[in-house]
Amino acid sequence: MEVSLPTRRPKRTDARRNFDALVAAAREAFADNGSQVSLEDIARRSGVSIATLYRNFPTREDLVEEVHREEVEKLCRAASGLDDLDPWDALVTWLHHFTDYIGTKLVFADALNRTTGGFQACRKAMRDAGRPLVERAQRAGAANPDMTIDDVLRLVAGISTIEYVDDVQRGRVFALVLAGMRAPGR
């Protein structure tokens, strides 16, 4: 599924280079320190001035939205590359991508609840990417026929945003959720 979500990315080569550097630095900073990392730190990491940051992203929300947009596009592309897998395995593989997207960048968990147009477009793109995987697994009799993509995304986002004792516990909780998504008797 080729997804193209609205972006602020400039057309001029030099401006695009600065924009891309800011987004890459923000992605790294959010992963390291969460959404409250200082914008000055992001500008410093990117090698551009704070004025350049504000010219591209007048608010923190604008920067979070752009990083979120790029991550959602990757998540949607991942969904489209799973056609050769068994329906259940395809769904589980994509859900692992989804938990990585949320779990490593908790700033995006909050983005799932934001109401601006860009965030709404991202939520729609995620649902549109995951829905065929859920439906395919349901048609194969592998997934619970009563669940919807919205149910699945809310459930997996919920378990991805809490702290665990260790990765073993995280894996065990994820396995329990997957077991609950299986069709009865599977």
User: Residue 22's domain is classified under what CATH number?
Assistant: 1.10.10.60
> How many structural domains compose the chain?
2
Q: Are residues 48 and 64 in the same domain?
A: no
Binning pLDDT at 50, 70 and 90, where does residue 162 land? confident
Q: Would you say residue 147 lies in a domain?
A: yes
Range in 132-136, 153-157, 173-177 the model is least confident about: 153-157
Region of 47 on the Ramachandran plot (φ > 0 left; ψ -120 to 50 alpha; else beta): left
Q: Are residues 45 and 135 in the same domain?
A: no
Q: Are residues 65 and 82 in the same domain?
A: yes
Contact 133, 82 (CB under 8 A): yes
> For 54-113, how does the pLDDT look when each residue is reduced to its tens digit (9 = 90+)?
999 998 888 888 888 888 888 899 998 899 999 999 999 999 998 877 755 555 555 555
Q: Are residues 111 and 165 in the same domain?
A: yes
Q: Are residues 98 and 36 in the same domain?
A: no
Q: Which two tokens stand for residue 138?
A: 């349901």
Q: Could you tell me the pTM of the whole model?
A: 0.78
Residue 135 belongs to domain spanning: 60-181
Torsion 28-149-90-157 (CA) sign: positive
Per-residue pLDDT at 5: 58
Cα gap 14→22, rounded to integer Å: 13
Per-residue pLDDT at 17: 92
